[in-house]
Amino acid sequence: MSIDIKSKWTNSIKTEAKRLGFLSCGVSKSDFLEEEAPRLEKWLNNNMHGEMGYMENHFDKRLDPRLLVEGSKSVISLLLNYFPEETQVADTYKISKYAYGQDYHHIIKSKLKQLQEFITEEIGEVNGRAFVDSAPVLDKAWAAKSGLGWIGKNSNLLTQQVGSFYFIAELIVDIELEYDHAVTDHCGTCTACLDACPTQAIVEPYVVDGSKCISYFTIELKNELPIDVKGSFDDWMFGCDVCQDVCPWNRFSKPHKEPLFNPNPELLSMTKKDWEEITEDVFQKVFKKSAVKRTKFEGLSRNIKFLK
């Protein structure tokens, strides 16, 4: 295939991604993630996934998208901003900013579907699959490979002049495109995220022990919360943004333009007392279509009780 055709296709896909509201779009060759393989193996062997047993599944597929999408040649990585214009009131129980509005899975899936339809119209029959946290895809690794940022010391993807408050999604397709190149690491000597983590989950630069992370405790862990971490959650009742909030690159974050990510106004004004007295009806109203529903009313109540 000529370089001109690949370049034309790639540029039109990136232009359409921008039109659909994505922050940026990068492309890399669908191949085995050589550097990630030993890291992932070590992370799993050290039980840093805690009770997230699903992380052990499909080890090979996590590292090679060609096993997920037969005949795939390109991974199209996309970023979608979720940084809010307003945050919760001070001195309250907090939820991660990504969960303020409607569940991102559905919103991004819809945009990816539109992008897939555009590709078919523009190029012809293209086989591919869309992914948003929904399958064993190492999205941060692919986004970094596609030049959308670098993986920082807090293990999040970071982007100059943008920060890290965005979702990552992929389209894995069976056509060759023009591939982007990875960017350099710009964390330098900064250790803000390591120093600020309330539970010391960032055990060394670029390594997060998932089983010590507040997001793991408040969302993934279905049993009782361990008593030895009581008092170290910094008032986070669903997820945690500390390592992003302190990252110097996030001073460049700009509010998103996606109305579906806007929170129920009640969410922003609720005080600790309001949360402690929350009923299931209020929970259903405030978190209608929200990712917070993953933890259910019982889970959120458990977390609030643990913080009191």
Q: Which residues are catalytic?
A: 133
Give the Cα separation of 124 and 107 in Å (integer): 25
Is 42 annotated as ligand-binding? no
Is 157 annotated as ligand-binding? yes
Is 25 annotated as ligand-binding? no
Is 129 annotated as ligand-binding? no
Is 171 annotated as ligand-binding? no
Is 190 annotated as ligand-binding? yes
Q: Sign of the CA dihedral 54, 56, 58, 61?
A: positive
Is 308 annotated as ligand-binding? no
Is 243 annotated as ligand-binding? yes
Residue of 115, 87, 104 whose CA lies nearest to 27: 115
> Could you tell me the CA-to-CA distances from 170 to 55, 109, 154, 189 in Å, in that order?
19, 10, 22, 31
Is 193 annotated as ligand-binding? yes
CA angle 237, 83, 267 (to 5 degrees): 45
Q: Which two tokens stand for residue 17?
A: 């991604």
Is 247 annotated as ligand-binding? yes
Q: Which two tokens stand for residue 148?
A: 């959308």
Q: What are the backbone dihedrals phi and psi of residue 260, each rounded to the nearest 5 degrees, phi first?
A: -70, -15
Q: Looking at this protein, which amino acid is placed at residue 1?
A: M
Write out the H or E segment, with its range, that includes residue 291: none
Give the Cα separation of 9 and 115 in Å (integer): 13
Q: Which residues are annotated as a binding site for [4Fe-4S] cluster?
A: 187, 190, 193, 197, 213, 240, 243, 247
Q: Which residues are annotated as a binding site?
A: 62, 133, 154, 157, 168, 187, 190, 193, 197, 213, 215, 222, 240-241, 243, 247
Q: Which residues are annotated as a binding site for cob(II)alamin?
A: 62, 133, 154, 157, 168, 215, 240-241
Q: Which residues are annotated as a binding site for tRNA?
A: 222
